[in-house]
């Protein structure tokens, strides 16, 4: 038996409700709609209150000739409208629902897709090996598989930061590190590819840095920033055999999300060292993932 939408019955209403509810869930609009309703409601309510309040003041103060009080009250109320509207708008723009909606729109409308930089990251694996119990020597490894989004690319840029001597040794493949410079508290390394890459080309970069006196405190962390569109990210810390971690956590800095890295994230390697690994197939753009530990 076929049923056609188009009547005004309760069944029609219920079917339309189910249809739109699932559509909103698909596009992650639940929180967006909530913030939108709050925003519109607050604007209407504050504006109505201010108009009524100013009208009342006008009829009370006008016979007394106190126009200065009236002007101050009008300025204060409209400033109150602006600040409330701004607050709700900022809440909306920074909400998780809005970012999910933007991502859904970008996936469905290619020309709206925002892909910062000249490549996207298909896979990124970061590993830090602590080579002694004092944290005086460590080796940082980064493996990054990228797809270029532009033509005529001849260079690749790496970033590094931290305490201690973070450039005690530096190796990269492919390409040659031809320059590095400081930008704020971070360093950028310019790598010449020694060949030209075009849109659609895929390359896998391997970075190795030796760090001296960089992890000597009882509590330390390793931060990984996502500044290009990334499909997969993993972060690992390998601890010395005689000094495993007492506790490890993963903190997502912008969303303040906290994950305790318990035994499900920990494994003992064949040589007796302990490795803690966290990974995700949905890293957020411009998020900072911090693997922190006590040892």
Residue 214 above 70 pLDDT? Answer: yes
Separation of alpha carbons 139 and 129, rounded Å: 5
Overall domain count for the chain:
2
* Same domain, residue pair 83 and 130: no
* Same domain, residue pair 163 and 53: no
Angle ∠(196,200,206) on CA atoms, nearest 5: 65
Categorize the per-residue pLDDT at 93 as very low, low, confident or very high, splitting at 50, 70 and 90. Answer: low
The last residue of one of the domains, among 55, 78, 110, is 110
Report the pLDDT value the prediction gives residue 41, as an integer from 0 to 100.
54
Per the structure, the complete domain to which residue 255 belongs is given by: 119-294
Average pLDDT, the chain: 79
* Same domain, residue pair 48 and 124: no
* Same domain, residue pair 104 and 169: no
Region 32-50 average pLDDT: 52
* Same domain, residue pair 261 and 167: yes
Report yes or no on 3 lying in a domain: no
Categorize the per-residue pLDDT at 97 as very low, low, confident or very high, splitting at 50, 70 and 90. Answer: low
CA atoms lying within 13 Å on the CB side of residue 134: 4
Residue 192 above 80 pLDDT? Answer: yes
Report the pLDDT value the prediction gives residue 124, as an integer from 0 to 100.
97
Report yes or no on 153 lying in a domain: yes
Check the CA dihedral 225-228-234-239 and report its sign.
negative
Token pair of 163 as six digits:
């305490």
Q: Where are the alpha helices (DSSP H) in 94-211?
A: 96-108
CATH number of residue 278's parent domain = 2.60.40
Report the pLDDT value the prediction gives residue 255, as an integer from 0 to 100.
87
Report the pLDDT value the prediction gives residue 110, as an integer from 0 to 100.
46
First to last CA, the chain: 67
Report the pLDDT value the prediction gives residue 141, as an integer from 0 to 100.
98
Residue 111 above 50 pLDDT? Answer: no
* Same domain, residue pair 282 and 229: yes
Residue 236 above 80 pLDDT? Answer: yes
* Same domain, residue pair 245 and 274: yes
* Same domain, residue pair 19 and 136: no
Separation of alpha carbons 260 and 247, rounded Å: 8
* Same domain, residue pair 171 and 232: yes
């Amino acid at each position: 038996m076929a049923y056609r939408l188009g009547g005004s019955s309760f069944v029609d209403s219920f079917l339309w409700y189910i249809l739109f509810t699932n559509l909103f869930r698909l596009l992650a609009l639940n929180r967006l709609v909530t913030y939108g309703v709050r925003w519109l409601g607050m604007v209407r309510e504050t504006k109505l209150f201010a108009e009524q309040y100013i009208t009342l003041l006008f009829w009370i103060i006008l016979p007394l000739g106190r126009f200065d009080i009236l002007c101050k009250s009008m300025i204060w109320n409209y400033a109150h409208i602006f600040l409330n509207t701004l607050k709700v708008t900022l809440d909306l723009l920074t909400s998780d629902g809005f970012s999910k909606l933007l991502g859904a729109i970008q996936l469905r409308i290619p020309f709206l897709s925002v892909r910062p930089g000249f490549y996207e990251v298909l896979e990124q694996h970061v590993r830090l090996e602590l080579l002694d119990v004092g944290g005086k020597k460590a080796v940082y490894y980064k493996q990054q598989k990228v797809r270029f989004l532009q033509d005529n690319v001849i260079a690749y840029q790496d970033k590094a930061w931290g305490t201690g001597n973070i450039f005690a040794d530096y190796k990269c493949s492919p390409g040659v590190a031809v320059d590095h410079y400081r930008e704020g508290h971070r360093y950028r390394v310019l790598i010449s590819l020694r060949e030209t890459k075009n849109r659609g080309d895929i390359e896998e970069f391997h970075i190795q840095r030796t760090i001296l006196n960089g992890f000597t405190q009882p509590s330390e962390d390793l931060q990984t920033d996502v500044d290009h569109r990334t499909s997969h990210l993993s972060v690992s810390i390998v601890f010395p055999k005689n000094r495993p971690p007492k506790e490890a956590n993963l903190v997502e800095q912008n969303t303040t999300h906290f994950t305790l890295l318990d035994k499900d994230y920990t494994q003992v390697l064949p040589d007796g060292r302990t490795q803690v690994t966290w990974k995700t197939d949905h890293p957020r753009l411009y998020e900072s993932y911090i693997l922190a530990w006590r040892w």
